[in-house]
Amino acid sequence: MSTDLPTPITPQSIFNFDVLFNNPVFAGGIGLAGLGAAAAFGRKAAIGGAGMLKRQMLVNIEISKRDPSYSWVLAWLAQPRDNSGFLAQRLTRMRTLAVTTATKSINPGRVSDEGRTHADFRVQPGFGRHIVRPRPGVYIAVNREKASTTSTATGEPHETLTLTLLWAHRHVLSEVFTEAHALAQRFHEGKTLVYTARRMEWAPLGKPRLKRPLGSVILDEGVKERIVGDVREFLDAQQWYTDRGVPYRRGYLLYGPPGTGKTSFIQALAGELDYSVAMINLSEVGITDDLLAQLLTQLPEKSILLLEDVDAAFTNRRQRDPDGYSGPTVTFSGLLNALDGLAAGEDRIAFLTTNHIDRLDPALIRPGRVDLMERIGEATRYQASQMWDRYYGDIDKDGAGRERFLGRLEELGLFGESKDPDVPKRHTSTAAIQGLFQFNKGDMEGAIKMAQGLIPRTFEADASGIGGSLKSPA
Ligand SMILES: Nc1ncnc2c1ncn2[C@@H]1O[C@H](COP(=O)(O)OP(=O)(O)OP(=O)(O)O)[C@@H](O)[C@H]1O
Ligand SMILES: [Mg+2]
> Alpha-carbon Rg of the chain, whole angstroms?
35
Enclosing domain of residue 392: 383-461
Angle at alpha carbon of residue 287, lines to 283 and 288, rounded to 5°? 120
Residues ≥6 apart with Cβ < 8 Å to 388:
396, 401, 402, 405, 406, 437
The number of the ligand nearest the C-alpha atom of 391 reads: 1
Which residue has better confidence, 54 or 315? 315
Establish how many alpha carbons lie within 13 A of residue 205's alpha carbon, considering only the half-sphere containing its beta carbon: 14
3-state SS record for the chain: CCCCCCCCCCHHHHHCHHHHHHCHHHHHHHHHHHHHHHHHHHHHHHHHHHHHHHHHHEEEEEEECCCCHHHHHHHHHCCCCCCCCHHHHHHCCCCCEEEEEEEEECCCCCHHHCCCEEEEEEEEECCEEEEEEEECCEEEEEEEEEEEEECCCCCCEEEEEEEEEEHHHCHHHHHHHHHHHHHHHHHHCCEECEEEEECCEEEECCCCEECCCHHHCCCCCCHHHHHHHHHHHHHHCHHHHHHHCCCEEEEEEEECCCCCCHHHHHHHHHHHHCCEEEEEECCCCCCCHHHHHHHHHCCCCCEEEEEECCCHHHHCCCCCCCCCCCCCCCCHHHHHHHHHCCCCCCEEEEEEEECCHHHCCHHHHCCCCCCEEEECCCCCHHHHHHHHHHHHCCCCCCCHHHHHHHHHHHHCCCECCCCCCCCCCCECCHHHHHHHHHHCCCCHHHHHHHHHHHCCCEEEECCCCCCEEEECCC
Same domain (yes/no): 38, 103: no
Same domain (yes/no): 45, 67: no
pLDDT at 18 over 70: no
Q: Is 261 in the pocket of ligand 1 (CB under 6 A)?
A: yes
> Which residue type, as a one-letter code, is found at position 272?
E
Please report the pLDDT score of residue 461 as a whole number.
55
Which residue has better confidence, 199 or 29? 199
Q: Is 379 in the pocket of ligand 1 (CB under 6 A)?
A: no
Does 28 reside within a domain? yes
Distance between CA 21 and CA 27 in Å, rounded?
6
Does 148 reside within a domain? yes
Residues ≥6 apart with Cβ < 8 Å to 407:
none
Phi, psi of 96 (to 5 degrees): -115, 120
Contact yes or no for 134/81 (Cβ under 8 A): yes
Distance between CA 338 and CA 316 in Å, rounded?
16
- Alpha-carbon torsion angle 281, 287, 292, 296, nearest 10: -50
Q: pLDDT-derived band of residue 9, with 50, 70 and 90 as boundaries?
A: very low
Question: Among the three residues 375, 394, 414, which one is the final residue of a domain in this structure?
Answer: 375
Phi, psi of 432 (to 5 degrees): -70, -40
User: What is the tens place of the pLDDT at every residue in 71-95?
Assistant: 889 888 888 777 777 776 767 766 6
Choice among 84-98, 407-421, 446-460 with the minimum mean pLDDT: 84-98
Q: Is 279 in the pocket of ligand 1 (CB under 6 A)?
A: no
CATH number at 239 reads 3.40.50.300
Task: Kindly give the distance from the C-alpha atom of residue 394 to the centroid of ligand 1, in angstroms, as a whole number.
Answer: 23
- Domain total for the chain? 4
Does 341 reside within a domain? yes
pLDDT at 150 over 70: no
Please report the pLDDT score of residue 417 as a whole number.
72
| Segment 257-273 mean pLDDT | 95
pLDDT at 112 over 70: no
> Which residue type, as a one-letter code, is found at position 453?
G
Same domain (yes/no): 229, 335: yes
Please report the pLDDT score of residue 158 as a whole number.
81
Does 84 reside within a domain? yes
Q: pLDDT-derived band of residue 152, with 50, 70 and 90 as boundaries?
A: low
Does 390 reside within a domain? yes
Please report the pLDDT score of residue 394 as a whole number.
92
Same domain (yes/no): 90, 49: no
Please report the pLDDT score of residue 185 as a whole number.
83
Q: Is 386 in the pocket of ligand 1 (CB under 6 A)?
A: no
Which residue has better confidence, 182 or 425? 182
Q: Is 250 in the pocket of ligand 1 (CB under 6 A)?
A: no
For 350-384, b where at least 16 C-beta lie within 10 A, e where not — what string?
bbbbbbeeeebeeebeeeebbbbebebbbbbeebb
Does 193 reside within a domain? no
Among protein residues, the one with the nearest Cα to ligand 1's atom 6 is: 261
Q: pLDDT-derived band of residue 431, with 50, 70 and 90 as boundaries?
A: very high
Strands 276-281 and 303-308: parallel
Q: pLDDT-derived band of residue 55, with 50, 70 and 90 as boundaries?
A: low
Please report the pLDDT score of residue 407 as a whole number.
92
User: What is the tens place of the pLDDT at every residue in 307-364?
Assistant: 999 988 877 555 555 555 555 678 888 888 888 876 666 788 999 999 999 888 888 8
Choice among 2-11, 405-414, 438-447 with the minimum mean pLDDT: 2-11
Distance between CA 266 and CA 122 in Å, rounded?
30
Contacts 24+ apart (CB under 8 A), 63-66: 63/160, 63/161, 63/162, 63/163, 64/158, 64/159, 64/160, 65/158, 65/159, 65/160, 65/161, 66/151
Establish how many alpha carbons lie within 13 A of residue 408's alpha carbon, considering only the half-sphere containing its beta carbon: 21
Q: Is 355 in the pocket of ligand 1 (CB under 6 A)?
A: yes
Please report the pLDDT score of residue 430 as a whole number.
94
| Segment 5-9 mean pLDDT | 43
Same domain (yes/no): 305, 327: yes
Phi, psi of 156 (to 5 degrees): -90, 150
Please report the pLDDT score of residue 223 as a whole number.
94
Does 470 reside within a domain? no
Choice among 110-119, 180-189, 412-421 with the minimum mean pLDDT: 110-119
Mean pLDDT score of the chain, rounded to an integer? 80
| Segment 191-205 mean pLDDT | 88
Task: Kindly give the distance from the C-alpha atom of residue 28 to the centroid of ligand 2, in angstroms, as a whole number.
Answer: 87
Please report the pLDDT score of residue 321 as a whole number.
54
The number of the ligand nearest the C-alpha atom of 262 reads: 1
Question: Among the three residues 151, 186, 221, which one is the final residue of a domain in this structure?
Answer: 186
Same domain (yes/no): 232, 346: yes
Same domain (yes/no): 254, 350: yes
Question: Among the three residues 12, 31, 57, which one is the final residue of a domain in this structure?
Answer: 57
| Segment 251-266 mean pLDDT | 95
Same domain (yes/no): 233, 353: yes
Residue 132's closest CA among 169, 182, 185, 187? 169
Q: Is 258 in the pocket of ligand 1 (CB under 6 A)?
A: yes
Task: Kindly give the distance from the C-alpha atom of residue 52 to the centroid of ligand 1, in angstroms, as a whole number.
Answer: 63
Q: pLDDT-derived band of residue 2, with 50, 70 and 90 as boundaries?
A: very low
Same domain (yes/no): 323, 300: yes
Same domain (yes/no): 95, 180: yes
Same domain (yes/no): 79, 163: yes
Does 474 reside within a domain? no
pLDDT at 171 over 80: yes
Same domain (yes/no): 287, 363: yes
